[in-house]
Amino acid sequence: MAGYFTNILGGAKSLVVGLSITQRQFFKKPITLQYPWESLEMTPRYRGHIQLIKNAESGTHQCISCGMCEKSCPSDCITIKGEKQEGVKGKVLVKYELDFTKCSLCGQCIANCKPGAIEFSREYNLASTRKEDFHYDLLKRLKEQK
């Protein structure tokens, strides 16, 4: 019989303790950000889709069209094409296409890029109803970049 009342008292106390915790939390400052009115800065290492790095001095990329990114990609997202051009040593990149619908952001392309010509972008606000919108022409993107 004594156990019966101890159980009830102990149970009631546990509820009061729990309620006092939620009460205290109620008066704390909310931590939720009201996206899209507020948003966080993306961290420098955030993995968005890849992009060619613009060299500040030459104003262009450093890709040598070796095709390592294309070969290392698990999902065949990358298509590149290099051409021999007169007066230029090595190949010149004429096409760099990325099919972002298949990319899983593993970073194998970047890890395998010898000249360090590509990096992750910090794009995350991506939405579309057409999958073609995620087929990126990275060379065009580089030219449009300021």
Partner 1 sequence: MSSQPLSQNQERFELNLGPQHPATHGVLRVKLLMDGEYIVDAEPVLGYIHRMHELMGENRSWAQYLPNMGRLDYLSALSYNLGYVELVEKMAGIEVPERAEYIRVITTEMNRISSHLLWFGAFVLDLGGFTPLLYAFDDREQILDLLEAVTGSRLTYCYYLFGGCYNDVEDDFLSGCLAFVKRLRTRLPMYHNLVTKNVILRQRLEGVGPVSAEMCRKYGATGPVLRGSGINYDLRKNEPYSIYPELDFDVPVYPEGDSMARFMVRMDEMEQCLRIIEQAIAKIPEGPVMAEKVPKMIKPAAGDYYHAVEAARGTFAIRAVSDGANQAYRMKLRSPTFSNLSLFQEASRGMLLADGLAFMGSLDLVIPEIDR
Could you give the dihedral angle defined by the CA atoms of residues 15, 21, 23 and 27, in that order, rounded to the nearest 10 degrees? -170
The closest of 59, 63, 98 to 82, measured between CA atoms, is 63
Question: For partner 1, which is the closer residue by CB, 99 or 139?
Answer: 99
Q: What angle do CA 97, 101, 107 make, to 5 degrees?
A: 70
Question: For partner 1, which is the closer residue by CB, 22 or 34?
Answer: 22
Question: For partner 1, which is the closer residue by CB, 71 or 143?
Answer: 71
Considering the complex, what minimum distance in angstroms separates the CB of residue 124 from partner 1? 10
Question: For partner 1, which is the closer residue by CB, 98 or 139?
Answer: 98
Residues that bind partner 1 (CB under 8 A): 10-12, 14-15, 17-18, 21-22, 25, 31, 43-47, 72-74, 104-108, 111-112, 120
Considering the complex, what minimum distance in angstroms separates the CB of residue 80 from partner 1? 17
Which residue blocks in the chain are alpha helix, DSSP H?
A: 2-26, 68-72, 108-111, 138-144
**Residue 65, phi then psi, degrees to nearest 5:** 55, 40
Considering the complex, what minimum distance in angstroms separates the CB of residue 83 from partner 1? 25
Considering the complex, what minimum distance in angstroms separates the CB of residue 14 from partner 1? 5
CA 146, chain centre distance (Å): 21
